Amino acid sequence: MSDSDRYSMPDQQARFARAKKESNERYLDITTVYDPAFLKGKRIAVTGANRGIGLALAKELTEAGAKLVAIVRSTSDELEKLNPDELIKGVDQTSNELCVDLEHAIKGGPIDI
């Protein structure tokens, strides 16, 4: 057996192209390996939830039925549309003081994740 058959390709684009060519549903359809149902009802804290990866994660968690605790420096219209369970503004993650105070800023109950 060759290494290319035995191991995953390190090149993600090539790996995805091969999966498409082979109609590999396990690779192309994330629901075959991931079920977000366990997130429903959980209070999940997301830092940087106002943009980028944090916002994308916040959207996915909201769609899965999680209770979003958004921790941001400043909010965004997209984040506000998600109607987070709790929105904590003014947090600069580079500041130790503000991160320590975050414990007292969270009011809606314990964080599950």
Superfamily of domain 35-113: NAD(P)-binding Rossmann-like Domain (3.40.50.720)
Query: How far from each other are the two terminal CA atoms of the chain, in whole angstroms?
Result: 42
Q: 88: which strand partners?
A: 71
Give the number of other CB atoms < 10 A from CB of residue 70. 28
Task: Going residue by residue through the chain, which has 113 residues, state the pLDDT in tens, using 9 for 90 and above.
Answer: 666 666 666 778 888 888 889 998 887 887 777 889 999 999 999 999 999 999 999 999 999 999 999 999 999 999 999 999 999 998 888 888 877 788 888 998 999 99
Map tokens 């191991």 to a residue.
7
The residue assigned the tokens 């060519």 is 21
Q: Would you state the pLDDT for residue 3?
A: 65
Question: What residue ranges do the domains of the chain occupy?
Answer: 35-113
